[in-house]
Structure 1
Amino acid sequence: MGFFTDAYDLFCISLVTKLIGRIYYHVEGSDTPGSLPPNVSSAVNGVAFCGTLSGQLFFGWLGDKLGRKKVYCVTLGLMIVCSLASGLSFGRSPAGVMATLCFFRFWLGFGIGGDYPLSATIMSEYANKKTRGTFIAAVFAMQGFGILTGGVVTLLVSGTFRDRFKAPAYSVDPIGSTVPQADYVWRLILMFGAVPAAMTFYSRMRMPETARYTALVAKNAERAAEDMAKVLQVDLFGLFTKSFARRHGLHLLGTTTTWFVLDIAFYSQNLFQKDIFSAVGWIPNAATMNALEELFKIARASTLIALCGTVPGYWFTVALIDVIGRFWIQMMGFFFMTVFMLGLAIPYHHWALPGNHIGFVVMYGLTFFFANFGPNSTTFIVPAEIFPARLRSTCHGISAAAGKAGAIVGSFGFLYAAQNQDKAKADRGYPAGIGVRNSLFVLAACNLLGLLFTLLVPESKGKSLEEMSGEKEEEEEEEMKEKTTLMGKDGDDKEIASISF
């Protein structure tokens, strides 16, 4: 349920930003409904990712220091509090409301950031090598249900309020098209994220520490306290050492770069799909709808994409990851994401014509399918398998933070880049961009780079965590050193005995 909550909290904001714009940024006499100014929109959409990046680095490091279980509970508590607080954002002015919302969204993201490395590390350390990939993938696949539930909850809440409080279209009555009760809608949607998190809290409190952490990390700390000199003979390399760079430097480069370029494309698609759907005409012009009707249709489109493309992709990974392997699933995913993104971009003007919207939605859904039956799943799984136990959570946190850096680039950059090349046709307050078509070409290039950087990532299918991290070799080397030392001592004893005799 942790990843279910993470996905819900991260993506539900993209569904309600247009509603928030109508409520707080209405411009008297304008032909179009109010919308969030560029700086506010960037902050509302992207601030949680800034928090997530920070949380992944901090809690990833803390999980290797204090243990997985203790930190795991802290992150969940932070998510519960900040989900509720996000929906209770108040202020005397629109700027005050947005500032409060961004503050709590940052700390919500901070808690979510801790969930990434800790969930992956805990699952990898509990599972056996034959089914480890399936086990971790199944946990991560709950992200798909979180995205889907975000759409369903928004449909239910907006549909209920829309039917209860009737309103004309914006073109008929600009003020009356947004009923006062609409302010409760987005708040309820954001606050719902606390429900699944609260349901999970008790089970996390009862969860034991992972055996691998206790045996490989906590044990080393005890030995260090007893006999530092003896421990220093073992090659317990740290993150910033030549030994780590030699053994895992390229691996860390591979996991960080692939996650970075993936999330530029993945989060751009997820956060701004409503804008893309409006650009190709799948969602009607905003002025022809009231505020709650627009929210309902945005949620319906997002739910359809999640149901047909996002969720099935996750579960294909669950079914096949221990059959095909991580490497080939990631290669295949990046390849087909590139193909389908180009399939959207090259004939983009064809898709924008009336009657071609279904084809566009199918192609768009396939990019989500192969993102999730591909790198969006494997970039999460592999860092939890290939690094040593004492650095596993830290390295996963670094890899995930690189991904969230990509998400920040995607959430801030795509918002501006996708604007019309004619400034007169761009959204209010935005400069001219490169257009949706050229933005899709950029995302296709990101996917192609991900394909190339995947060559740096090793295959971990069917191998134990100790084999992948090299800890098994370290143990064997340590045993050999101890045997050699003992043999040397026995020889010295025998020599002394013979002399004494």
Structure 2
Amino acid sequence: MSLRVLSRLDTARTQYYHFKAITIAGLGLFADACYLFCIPPIMKLIGHIYYKSHNNRIQPAVESSMLAATLLGTAIGQLIFGRLGDRVGRRGVYGVALIFMMVGSIACGFSLGTTPGCVLASLGFFRFLVGVGIGGDYPLSATIMSEYANKRTRGAFIAAVFSMQGFGILVSSVVTMAVCKTFGRIYHRSPEDPPKEADIAWRLILMLGVIPAVITYYRRMKMPETARYTALVEQNVLQAARDMERVLDVPLSQITEDHIFPPSPPPYPLFSRKFFLRHGRDLLACSATWFLLDIVFYSSNLFQFEIFHKYLLDEGVTALDATFKVALLQAVVACYSTIPGYFAAVFLIDRVGRVKLQAAGFFFMAIVYFSMGVPDNKYWKGPRHMLFIFLYGLTFFFANCGPNTTTFIVPAELFPARFRTTCHGIAGAMGKVGAIFGAVGFSKTWQALGMRVTFIIFGGICMAGMAVTLLFARETMGRSLEENENEDESVQ
């Protein structure tokens, strides 16, 4: 059954409501990145304040646990909010995810304790709450944008939403640098005596992340429910047309049906035999590629200061100076690699296709990792260290131009409307399991086997991601969401 309102959404020209939806959904991803990727410089600052007996460095196991707490919350949030998005509605729980982020962000600034362990334990708990909100934002933002977009430029619109993560990383880094410079100019202390005010600085940085979430919350509450959820899940076709009348700027008569279709029961439930026959391969492909990608992506992102440690750390810097350098590194990588990668994805996604772009991204990531890992460590001494830094940044370019973006897009296009956020949440949660595995496991691998071996392993994981993509992924470019559902009635 082809409904007029859905057909009109698929063929609508690009107009104001598309950009409005991109902005509202994208600001959530912007806030996600601010929360998620501010932690490396924060850990540097906390290390100088509480771990002076360990050369100003938090023990790797403790740092990994802090990272894993947020990622675990993200995985749980993706599963919970993904399911609620299909049961309650996209709009119904869209603001709740932001509430988790806002409350958790403010609470992080009030992490309490009389010992470093107590401070980090409370911070870890509040970061877990932030992670739950971040996780909820993933399936809801991707699905809402996919259900608002037309089929010709749907990939570019969802990629544009996801690209806001890059700007979130950049702004988070700039805010961190600004706070560090401001506090550094006001309070002048020696490296051996980190200022007490530095303890206020990291709390302030975390709490400032609430600002984009507050701005986004109001706008999200003004959005109507998506027509696809109202028409296909709630089976209220007339209400879907009324909601879209103002959005599409067309008379109601052009998008309402001539006949009222009686509600029909769903043909099969979630996780039934028929569900797995029709969608099991798609769910496997989305989950496996996201899992493999996040092992590499989050390991590289969250431990990038370790990668550049030998080039950036000067003896005798203050706590605020050291944190400034970590944030500066993140900002530089975001400018020359991360954000351009997102822009390339927006430009290419509806021209090249999801499968080709994802496979190519994995392939070139593997080539770059092998290029960094195969040469001996002595090779990167002296002037060649700048080449090493450039190659390292390229991994983020190819990730964001390829699998980091496509793994976010494809699950929002493949599955039926009544399962869409659930399946996106499952795939995303598998990705965050991979991220936890990378954040915890590869911190130990890094210490035990060294940088070269770790990069070679990363290259192998990327090749595995390319293989899974080519073997199991299905192209969704240029088709309506209803065509992509693959509702083959011959499957029993």
1:210 partnered with 2:232? no
- Aligned counterpart, 2:79: 57
1:198 partnered with 2:214? yes
**1:439-490 deviation per Cα after TM superposition (whole angstroms, max 9, x unaligned):** 111111111110011021111110000000035x66xx9xxxxxxxxxxxxx
- Distance in 2, matches of 1:110 and 1:16, equals 20
Q: Give the one of 291, 301, 304 matched to 1:273.
A: 304
1:46 partnered with 2:62? no
Map 1:394-473; keep pairs closer than 5 Å.
Answer: 394-419=422-447, 433-455=448-470, 456-471=472-487
Residues 260/221 of structure 1: CA separation in 2 closer, same or farther (3 Å cut)? farther
**1:157-176 deviation per Cα after TM superposition (whole angstroms, max 9, x unaligned):** 1122222222334xxxx3x2
- Aligned counterpart, 1:156: 178
Alpha-carbon shift at residue 220 of structure 1 (Å): 8.2
Percent identical: 50
Residues 437/335 of structure 1: CA separation in 2 closer, same or farther (3 Å cut)? same
| Matched-pair contact (CA < 8 Å) for 2:230–2:236 | no
- Distance in 2, matches of 1:396 and 1:157, equals 36
| Matched-pair contact (CA < 8 Å) for 2:74–2:134 | yes
- Aligned counterpart, 1:339: 367
Larger displacement relative to structure 2 (110-119 or 156-165) = 156-165
Q: Give the one of 196, 202, 209 matched to 1:180.
A: 196
- Aligned counterpart, 1:131: 153
Letter of the 1:342 partner, please give it: F
- Distance in 1, matches of 2:79 and 2:234, equals 21
Structure 2 residue matching 1:44: 3-state secondary structure: helix
Residues 74/351 of structure 1: CA separation in 2 closer, same or farther (3 Å cut)? farther
| Matched-pair contact (CA < 8 Å) for 1:384–1:393 | yes
- Aligned counterpart, 1:385: 413
| Matched-pair contact (CA < 8 Å) for 1:42–1:412 | yes
Structure 1 residue matching 2:279: 3-state secondary structure: helix
> Aligned pairs, how many?
440
**1:200-254 deviation per Cα after TM superposition (whole angstroms, max 9, x unaligned):** 11101101000000000011899xxxxxx9945x6x2223122111111111110
Alpha-carbon shift at residue 91 of structure 1 (Å): 1.3
Q: Give the one of 357, 371, 393 matched to 1:365.
A: 393
| Matched-pair contact (CA < 8 Å) for 1:263–1:406 | yes
- Aligned counterpart, 1:354: 382
Alpha-carbon shift at residue 90 of structure 1 (Å): 1.4
- Aligned counterpart, 1:489: none
Q: Give the one of 260, 284, 306 matched to 2:313.
A: 284
| Matched-pair contact (CA < 8 Å) for 1:351–1:360 | no
Q: Alignment RMSD, CA only?
A: 1.8
Letter of the 1:53 partner, please give it: A
Structure 1 residue matching 2:404: 3-state secondary structure: helix
Letter of the 1:283 partner, please give it: L
Letter of the 1:109 partner, please give it: G
Residues 258/24 of structure 1: CA separation in 2 closer, same or farther (3 Å cut)? same
| Matched-pair contact (CA < 8 Å) for 1:350–1:356 | no
Letter of the 1:298 partner, please give it: V
| Matched-pair contact (CA < 8 Å) for 1:79–1:111 | yes
Q: Give the one of 58, 81, 93 matched to 1:71.
A: 93
**1:372-411 deviation per Cα after TM superposition (whole angstroms, max 9, x unaligned):** 0000000000000010100000000000000000110111
- Distance in 2, matches of 1:25 and 1:301, equals 22
Alpha-carbon shift at residue 365 of structure 1 (Å): 0.9
- Aligned counterpart, 1:320: 348
**1:394-447 deviation per Cα after TM superposition (whole angstroms, max 9, x unaligned):** 00000000000011011111222111xxxxxxxxxxxxx111111111111111
- Aligned counterpart, 1:492: none
- Aligned counterpart, 2:143: 121
| Matched-pair contact (CA < 8 Å) for 2:61–2:440 | no
- Aligned counterpart, 1:142: 164
Letter of the 2:30 partner, please give it: F
**1:329-371 deviation per Cα after TM superposition (whole angstroms, max 9, x unaligned):** 1011000000001111112514541222211111011111000
Provide the TM-score with structure 1 as the length reference. Answer: 0.85
Letter of the 2:47 partner, please give it: G
| Matched-pair contact (CA < 8 Å) for 1:56–1:114 | yes
- Distance in 1, matches of 2:379 and 2:319, equals 26
- Aligned counterpart, 1:257: 288
Residues 221/126 of structure 1: CA separation in 2 closer, same or farther (3 Å cut)? closer
- Distance in 2, matches of 1:439 and 1:221, equals 54
Alpha-carbon shift at residue 78 of structure 1 (Å): 1.1
Residues 309/351 of structure 1: CA separation in 2 closer, same or farther (3 Å cut)? farther
1:297 partnered with 2:322? no
Rg (Cα) greater in structure: 1
- Aligned counterpart, 1:18: 44
